[in-house]
């Protein structure tokens, strides 16, 4: 793809000047339309060292309202970021609706440098390419405009620019060891960059290879591609996004109505098993920390099914320094203004830690679906996006355990009534709980579809029969222990 840099003939200087003035004026007007239409824009600048990426950002943003854009320079991942999934530091930075994010370096630099340094093999490279393509696809499917520019200069031009930067004390710091290495190994780097561009260019998020030999000409290419992309996004944002076919291996799941709920455990047996299982889990938690294995546990289920009590018995066995329980409520305004998975990406655990979600990203295909908080296209698309998200977690090395806590309608009514009539429990029951109960059949259908479409081999659903809460607690502990022991065995 790098040979595309010379495909366009360079216009005369006067024409470049006129077209630049028009493009900057247009971008300033487009920013208002983007804000009005709640369209977020991510602009990624990649390219050769000394090709002008950093200075170009200053030129592009000069007519923009600084309240509605941010600029991030992504250098090597921090120690904290290396303990998160590969996509974490990109997903956590995505902008709010109606805002720009300009990235000086990003996922291309991270991957290609690891390739050039021999830090990843062909299989890991393939995995990262898949992650990037899914990342960009889910962003564009959710209304993000993703524009990717690669600044291309020839080897001699790069060498000349690096020498000029090193001559001045005020700019010599801008020349890194990698820049010098890159120029020395220009041909090898060129092959790696070209392959990455080919592997990650798509119709919805294409690469634009910019001839950066002339700074004004490079600026014009950037500005006109940027404004053209925004024009298309503004026209397309009202259209539905096509749904993608699931490509992940799914497990058979029973319908909720088919699940027998007569399983119980005696009080004495419960106490003995609870103590033994918590002791085993406590021991496993220490091993997880040493092996740096992250764990994500999701609890979903009917209101009053016993999620809170189940979580409490689980966490009683854990070191409080190594886990976090994350209760999920309705998204806040700044969360609604981003991809629906953003608020979960930002809450993922570090390696060796456990995150327990009391409700989760599955709200998209349950409450948001049934209460009309998102469009049908949004929730239909979410099944595949959730499977992709959980695949990223599994590829990172996380143990993903998902519980649906099941009770019947009569059991829920009895528990609601008890809560309402018990002063110490009245805070647990709300008008919304009663309203949701009226939609039981609709919710049951949505849950059946959710279980069917998102129970994968790498992140399966487990049903906890909870008419007897003690039975559900013991079953949950056994499943967690089994999955953690399997993960630890796989690391040997």
Please return the burial class of 371, using the count of CB atoms within 10 Å of its CB with bins 0-12, 13-18 and 19+: middle
DSSP-based three-state secondary structure for 234? helix
Give the pLDDT score at 84.
95
DSSP-based three-state secondary structure for 316? coil
Q: Is 235 left (phi over 0), alpha (psi -120 to 50) or beta?
A: alpha
- 207-211 and 295-301: which strand pairing? unpaired
Q: Is 38 left (phi over 0), alpha (psi -120 to 50) or beta?
A: left
Q: How far apart are CA 492 and CA 490, in angstroms?
A: 6
Give the pLDDT score at 276.
98
List alpha helices for 66-121, DSSP H.
88-91, 107-116
Give the pLDDT score at 432.
81
Q: How far apart are CA 403 and CA 475, in angstroms?
A: 10
Q: How far apart are CA 184 and CA 193, in angstroms?
A: 15
Instruction: Specify the DSSP element, H or E, that contains 72.
Output: strand 69-73
Of 357, 352, 354, 353, give the one whose Cα is nearest residue 341: 357
Give the pLDDT score at 18.
96
Give the pLDDT score at 148.
96
* Contact indicator for 468, 263 with CB cutoff of 8 Å: yes
* Contact indicator for 394, 459 with CB cutoff of 8 Å: yes
Q: Which residues pair with 150 in a beta bridge?
A: 46, 209
Q: How far apart are CA 407 and CA 416, in angstroms?
A: 12
Q: Which residue has tokens 């093999």?
A: 121
DSSP-based three-state secondary structure for 81? helix
Distances (CA, A) of 8 to 2, 3, 5, 11, 221: 13, 11, 7, 9, 9
Q: Which residues pair with 300 in a beta bridge?
A: 404
Give the pLDDT score at 413.
94
Q: How far apart are CA 455 and CA 451, in angstroms?
A: 6
pLDDT, one tens digit for every residue, the chain (492 residues): 888 777 778 899 999 999 999 999 999 999 999 999 999 999 999 999 999 998 999 999 999 999 999 999 998 899 999 999 999 999 999 999 999 999 999 999 999 999 999 999 999 999 999 999 999 999 999 999 999 999 999 999 999 999 999 999 899 998 999 999 999 999 999 999 999 999 999 988 999 999 999 999 999 999 999 999 999 899 887 777 777 778 788 899 999 999 999 999 999 999 999 999 999 999 999 999 999 999 999 999 999 999 999 999 999 999 999 999 999 999 999 999 999 999 999 999 999 999 999 999 999 999 999 999 999 999 999 999 999 999 999 999 999 999 999 999 999 999 999 888 888 788 878 888 888 889 999 999 999 999 999 999 999 999 999 999 999 999 999 999 999 999 999 887
DSSP 178-200: HHHHHHHTHHHHHHHHHHHHHHH
Give the pLDDT score at 244.
75
- What string of H, E and C letters represents the secondary structure of 406-463? ECCHHHHHHHHHHHHHCHHHHHHCCHHHHHHHHCHHHHHHHHHHHHHHHCECCCCEEE
């Amino acid at each position: 793809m790098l040979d595309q840099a010379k495909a366009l003939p360079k216009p005369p200087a006067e024409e470049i000047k006129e077209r630049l003035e028009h493009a900057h004026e247009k971008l300033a007007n487009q920013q208002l339309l983007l804000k009005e239409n709640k369209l977020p824009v991510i602009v990624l600048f990649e390219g050769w060292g000394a090709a002008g990426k950093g200075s170009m950002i200053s030129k592009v943003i000069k007519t923009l309202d600084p309240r509605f854009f941010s600029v991030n320079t992504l250098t090597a991942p921090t120690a904290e970021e290396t303990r998160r999934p590969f996509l974490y530091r990109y997903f956590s930075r995505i902008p709010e609706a109606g805002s720009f994010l300009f990235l000086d370096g990003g996922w291309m630099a991270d991957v290609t440098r690891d390739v050039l340094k021999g830090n990843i093999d062909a299989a890991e490279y393939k995995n990262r390419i898949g992650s990037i393509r899914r990342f960009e696809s889910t962003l564009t499917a959710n209304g993000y405009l993703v524009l990717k520019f690669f600044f291309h200069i020839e080897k001699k031009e790069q060498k000349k620019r690096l020498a000029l930067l090193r001559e001045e004390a005020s700019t010599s710091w801008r020349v890194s060891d990698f820049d010098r290495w890159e120029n020395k190994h220009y041909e090898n780097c060129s092959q790696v960059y070209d392959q990455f561009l080919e592997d990650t260019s798509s119709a919805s998020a294409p690469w634009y290879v910019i001839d950066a030999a002339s700074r004004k000409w490079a600026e014009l290419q950037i500005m006109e591609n940027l404004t053209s992309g925004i024009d298309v996004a503004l026209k397309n944002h009202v259209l539905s996004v096509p749904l993608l076919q699931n490509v992940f291996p799914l497990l058979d799941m029973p319908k909720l109505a088919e699940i027998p709920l007569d399983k119980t455990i005696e009080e004495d047996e419960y106490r003995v098993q609870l103590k033994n299982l918590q002791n085993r889990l406590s021991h496993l938690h220490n091993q997880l920390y040493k092996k740096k294995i992250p764990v994500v546990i999701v609890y979903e289920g009917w209101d009053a099914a016993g999620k809170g009590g189940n979580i409490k018995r689980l966490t009683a066995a854990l070191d409080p320094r190594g886990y976090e329980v994350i209760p999920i409520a309705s998204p806040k305004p700044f969360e609604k203004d981003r991809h629906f998975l953003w608020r979960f990406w930002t809450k993922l655990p570090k390696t060796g830690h456990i995150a327990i979600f009391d409700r989760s990203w599955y709200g998209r295909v349950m409450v948001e679906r049934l209460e009309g908080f998102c469009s049908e296209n949004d929730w239909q698309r979410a099944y595949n996006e959730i499977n992709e998200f959980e695949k990223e977690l599994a590829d990172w090395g996380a143990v993903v355990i998902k519980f649906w806590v099941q009770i019947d309608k009569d059991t829920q009514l009895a528990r609601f009534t008890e809560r309402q009539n018990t002063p110490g429990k009245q805070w647990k029951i709300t008008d919304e709980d009663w309203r949701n109960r009226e939609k039981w059949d609709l919710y049951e259908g949505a849950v059946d579809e959710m279980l069917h479409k998102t129970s994968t081999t790498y992140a399966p659903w487990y049903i906890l029969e909870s008419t007897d809460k003690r039975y559900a607690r013991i079953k949950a502990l056994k499943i967690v222990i089994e999955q953690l022991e399997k993960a630890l065995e796989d690391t040997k």
